[in-house]
Amino acid sequence: MSLRDWQRNSWLVEHKSSPEEIAALFAIVERDLANAKVAGLADDWRLSIV
């Protein structure tokens, strides 16, 4: 099954992103990386954040 098949079946929908959307996603990444460094955080939760 190809990606075109997925698109024909509406399992994938084309999405146009904006610079603002990308910046917001990068901000979430930065936040999560900072949170993963919190002292005392359980290792499994630390990995879940990142």
In a domain, 9, yes or no: no
Q: How many domains does the chain have?
A: 1
Spatial distance between the Cα atoms of 1 and 48, rounded to a whole number of angstroms: 31
For residue 33, the enclosing domain spans 15-49
E strands of 1-50, at which residues?
none
Q: What is the pLDDT along the chain (50 residues), one digit of tens a residue?
A: 999 999 999 999 889 999 999 999 999 999 988 888 888 888 888 778 76
In a domain, 34, yes or no: yes
Q: Which amino acid is at 2?
A: S
